[in-house]
Each structure stands twice: as C-alpha cells, then as structure tokens.
Amino acid sequence: MSGMDLYVALALGVGLAAASGFRVFLPPFLYGLATRFDLNPTVVPDSGMQEWMASDVGLMVLGAAVVCELLAYYIPWLDNLLDTIASPAAVVGGVVLMSTSLGELEPALQWSLSIVVGGTTSGSVQLTTVGVRALSTASTGGLGNPIVSTMEAGACLFCTVLALLLPLIALVLVLGGLGMGGRWVLRRRGAKASDAQVWAPMNPQA
C-alpha cells in the first residue's frame, strides 16, 4: 500500500468509524451496498468482512438491523436505553470498519490502529450524542428526542456517504467535529460541577 493509499484508507476508516458513533448498522449497510454495486470510488483491498457486508445475507441482515435501529430511536425512553447498548456496540463497529479499510497492513498494525483510532473516534462521537440526548430529555421531557434522532440519522448518512466519496474531506470534518464535541462535553461537565458547588452549602446533609 502506497503512502497516499494509506492516507485514503485511514480517512475512509475514520469517516466510517465516526458515522458508526451516530448509528451502528447504517454505515456497514451502506458500505456493503457501495461495494456490491461498485459505487465506492475509494480503492481499498477486499477483506472477508467487506465481502460479507456486500453479500446477500449480509445486506439482508444489516438492512433489517438498520430499520429496527432507526425506528427504535423514535420510541420515547427506549432511545435512552438504547444508548447504553449502542455505546459499546458503536466502539466495536468503529474498530471493525476501520480494520476493513486497512486490510493490506500487517495484522498487528491494522488492529492496533483500528482499536486506537477507530474505536476512539466512534466512542467519542457516541459520547457526544448521549450527552445531547440526555440534555434533550432533561429539557423537553423526551419530546425533543425524535428531532435529535432525526439529526443523528442524517449526520450518520452524510458522514458515511462523504467518507465513501471524499474520504480526505470527511477526515477533516470529523476531526473538526470531534474537537467541537469535546469542548461541548467539557463545558457541560464544568457547568454541572459549578452547579454542584453552588447547591452544596444548601444541602443539610453536606
């Protein structure tokens, strides 16, 4: 794999990993469709997982999972419960998609990059979405969660398609988005800590 091919493969993997932080099954389903119908201009080596995603069985299984996942996030309170399951699943999905894009590397380097880069990227995106959903639930009683779910699904679709068509641009946008999301999470934690300090003297048990 040449240097430029490696950069493209890494960018593709990061973009798909970020997309899996929004929704777990949509990125591999779209990746499988793109591979099946030769719609992916990004040249990456075929792997067993990529071949399965593009197979009849893989597309049917992933397609059914996509429909169930998308619909489940529109059921009140079930969406918050799903976040507890989706968080580790998103990390696993990010690792798998990253490893698929790095199929020509040595296995040790392939899986090291997949776990560190892919898992961290998908986990960071998922952490941000959980925070946004928790804020929506607290401020709207869950009424605003369908809007959040629609935005997440749209972001997942956009990120996946962009990673497949323009992976280097997707990489830049993902890095920028992670930076903004990280600052937002830190501000939220700082605000909660400040509120706790303000209310602590009023707590008789303190």
Q: Please state the pTM of the whole predicted model.
A: 0.85
C-alpha 204/C-alpha 200 separation (Å) is 9
Place of tokens 């607290």: 138
Hey, what's the torsion of the CAs at 2, 93, 181, 170, to 10 degrees? 30
Q: Are 145 and 137 in contact (CB under 8 A)?
A: yes
Rounded to 5 degrees, what angle do the CA atoms 122, 60, 36 make? 75
206 or 179, which is more confident? 179
pLDDT value, residue 188: 65
**Average pLDDT rounded to a whole number, residues 124-143:** 85
pLDDT value, residue 127: 87
C-alpha 92/C-alpha 95 separation (Å) is 5
Nearest to 118 by CA among 7, 19, 8: 19
Identify the H or E element spanning 69.
helix 56-72
Instruction: Count CB neighbours of 197 within 10 A.
Output: 9
Does 96 score more than 90 pLDDT? yes
Long-range Cβ contacts of 142-147 (<8 Å, 24+ apart): 142/76, 142/77, 142/80, 145/73, 145/76, 145/79, 145/80, 146/74
pLDDT value, residue 2: 60
Q: Of 4-8, 24-28, 107-111, 119-123, where does mean pLDDT reach its minimum?
A: 4-8
Mean pLDDT of the chain: 84
Can you give the residue ranges of every domain in the chain? Answer: 3-202
Does 196 score more than 70 pLDDT? no
Instruction: Count CB neighbours of 151 within 10 A.
Output: 13
